[in-house]
Structure 1
Amino acid sequence: MARDDTARENESESSLLDRRSYLKLAGAAAASVAAAGVSSNSAKAASYETIEVSAGSTERIEVGPGETFENKLIDISADGAHFRLLTQGSDWTIRNVGVKGTNDDQDGTKATMYLRCTDGGTAVAENVYMGDGSEDRVGHAAVSDWENSGTVKIRNFHVAGWAADGMYMSHAGVSESHGMGETQIESSYLKNNNIENCRLGTPGSYIKDSVIHVEGESAVSSNESGQKNPRGLWFKEQSGMKAVNCDIKVNGSAAVMASDNGSGTVKDCRIDGDISSSVEQVNVSGSPDVSAPKGVPMTAEEAASGKGGTSGKDRSSSGESDSTDTTTGDAEQGKVFQLIADEDGVADEYQFTVDGSVSPQTDPSANMAEESDSVEKNDDGTVTVSGSAMGGFGDSFLVTGDFVSFDLNEDKWTLRYDGEEVSVSDLVLPNLLVIDGSTPNSPSSYEFSVSGEANKSAAHGSVNANDSAKDGSIAGQVYAGTDAYRFSGEITAFSLDGPANVRVEDNA
Structure 2
Amino acid sequence: MARDETARERSSEESLLNRRSYLKLAGAAAASVAAAGASSSSAKAASYDTIKVPANSKKTIKVGPGETFENKLIDITADGAHVKLLTEGSGWTVRNVGVKGQNNNMSGTYGTFYLRCTEEGEGLAENIYLGDGAVDRCGHAAMSDWDNHGTVTIRNIHVQGWAADGMYMSHAGVSKSHGMGETHVENAFLKNNNIENCRLGTPGSYIKDSVIHVESQDAVSSNQSGQVNARGLWFKEQSGMKAINCDISVTGSHAVFASDSGSGTLENCRVEGPVTGPVEQVNVSGSPDTSPPASVPMSAEEAASGKIDSSDGTTSPSSGDGQQSGDQQSGDSTDGQGDLLELVAADDASKVKYEFTVEGSARKKTSGDPTAEAGDSVTDNGDGTVTVSGVAGNGYGDAFFVDGAITSMNLDESVWTLRYAGSEVNADDLTLPNKLVVDGGNRPRQACDYSFEVSGAVRKSTDLGSVQKSDTVSDGTVTGTVFGGKDGYRFSGEVTGFDLDGPANISVEDGS
Normalised TM-score (structure 1): 0.53
> Secondary structure of the equivalent of 2:253?
strand
Q: Is the 8 A contact 2:143 2:168 kept in 1?
A: yes
CA distances 1:271-318 after superposition (whole Å, capped 9, x unpaired): 0000013100000000000000111000000000011179xxxxx999
> Which whole-Å CA distance do the structure 2 matches of 1:145 and 1:263 have between them?
18
What's the C-alpha RMSD, in Å, of the aligned pairs?
2.5
Q: In structure 1, how many angstroms separate the alpha carbons of the residues matched to 2:43 and 2:383?
A: 48
Q: CA 1:321–1:275 in structure 2 vs 1: closer, same or farther (change >3 Å)?
A: farther
Pair 1:290–1:320, CA change in 2 (3 A): farther
Give the structure 1 partner of residue 222 of structure 2.
222
Partner Cα distance (1:250, 1:102) in 2? 23
Partner of 1:114 in structure 2?
114
Structure 2 equivalent of residue 149 of structure 1: 149
Amino acid at match of 1:181: G
Distance change >3 Å, CA 299–CA 42, structure 1 → 2: farther
Contact 1:272–1:286 under 8 Å retained in 2: yes
**SS class of match (1:125):** strand
Query: 3-state DSSP class of the match of 2:273?
Result: strand
Q: For residue 70 of structure 1, what is the aligned residue in structure 2? A: 70
Residue deviations 1:58-100, cap 9 Å, x none?
A: 0000000000100000000000000000000010000000000
Which blocks of at least 5 consecutive residues in structure 2 are unaligned? Answer: 1-40, 311-336, 340-357, 362-381, 386-440, 442-512
- Structure 1 residues 181, 122: closer, same or farther in 2, change over 3 A? same
Taking structure 1 as reference, are residues 82 and 118 closer, same or farther at Cα in structure 2, changes over 3 Å only?
A: same
Q: Give distance in 1, aligned partners of 2:135 and 2:188.
A: 22
Instruction: Summarize deviations over 1:241-270 as a string: whole Å, max 9, x none.
Output: 000000000000000010000000000000
For residue 61 of structure 1, what is the aligned residue in structure 2? 61
Q: Distance in 1 between matches of 2:338 and 2:275?
A: 22
Tell me if the contact between 1:89 and 1:120 (Cα under 8 Å) persists in the aligned partners. Answer: no
For the residue of structure 1 that corresponds to 2:177, the secondary structure is helix
Residue 250 of structure 1 aligns to which amino acid in structure 2? V
Which structure has more relative contact order (CA 8 Å, sep 6+)? It is 2
User: Can you list the C-alpha shifts for 1:300-344, whole angstroms capped at 9, x where unaligned?
Assistant: 00000011179xxxxx9999749xxxx9799xxxxxxxxxxxxxx
Code of the aligned partner of 1:198: C
Is 1:124 the counterpart of 2:120? The answer is no
Between the two proteins, the alignment pairs up a number of residues equal to 283
One-letter amino acid of the counterpart of residue 178, structure 2: H
One-letter amino acid of the counterpart of residue 202, structure 1: T
CA change 1:43–1:272 in 2 (3 A) is: closer
Q: 1:85 to 1:291 in 2, by over 3 A?
A: same
**3-state DSSP class of the match of 1:252?**
coil
In the alignment, the residues of structure 2 paired with residue 286 and residue 320 of structure 1 have an alpha-carbon distance, to the nearest angstrom, of 27
In structure 1, the partner of 2:468 is none
Distance 1:82 1:306 in 2: 23
Q: Specify whether residues 242 and 188 from structure 1 end up closer, same or farther in structure 2 by C-alpha distance, changes over 3 A only.
A: same
> Residue in 2 aligned with 1:100?
100
What amino acid is the match of 1:210? S
| Counterpart code for 1:168 | Y
The AA in structure 2 aligned to 1:161 is G
Contact kept in structure 2, 1:173 and 1:202, CA below 8 Å: yes
Alpha-carbon separation, structure 2, partners of 1:288 and 1:43: 28
Structure of greater Rg = 1
Structure 1 equivalent of residue 289 of structure 2: 289
Aligned residue for 1:264?
Answer: 264
Distance 2:285 2:109 in 1: 37
Equivalent residue runs for 1:424-503 within 5 Å: none
Q: Which residue of 2 aligns with 1:354?
A: none
- Listed as ranges, the matches of 1:224-243 within 5 Å are 224-243=224-243
Distance 2:82 2:255 in 1: 30
Distance 1:329 1:75 in 2: 45
Query: Partners in 2 of 1:78 and 1:42 — Cα distance?
Result: 33
CA distance in 2, matches of 1:329, 1:297: 33
Q: Is the 8 A contact 2:202 2:237 kept in 1?
A: yes
Q: For the residues of structure 1 that align with 2:201 and 2:214, how far apart are their CA atoms?
A: 21
Aligned to 1:304: 304
Contact 1:69 1:94 in 2 (8 A): yes
1:176 aligns with 2:198: no
Which residue is 1:275 aligned to? 275
Is the contact between residue 209 and residue 317 of structure 1 (CA under 8 Å) also seen in structure 2? no
Kept in 1: contact 2:42–2:308 (CA 8 A): no
For 2:272 and 2:197, locate their aligned partners in 1 and report how far apart those are by CA, in whole Å: 15
Once the two structures are superposed, what CA deviation does each residue of 1:416-462 show, in whole Å capped at 9, x if it has no partner? xxxxxxxxxxxxxxxxxxxxxxxxxxxxxxxxxxxxxxxxxxxxxxx
Cα distance between partner residues in 1 of 2:216 and 2:360: 33
8 A Cα contact 1:120 1:148, kept in partner: no
Spell out structure 1 runs of 4+ moving beyond 2 A.
Answer: 41-44, 316-322, 327-330
Q: What amino acid is the match of 1:77?
A: T
- Letter of the 2:89 counterpart: G
Q: CA deviation at 1:118?
A: 2.9
Return the alpha-carbon distance in structure 1 between the equivalents of residues 338 and 212 of structure 2.
17
Deviations 1:395-414 (A, max 9, x none): xxxxx9xxxxxxxxxxxxxx
Is the 1:237–1:259 Cα contact (8 Å) retained in structure 2?
yes
SS of corresponding position for 2:218: helix
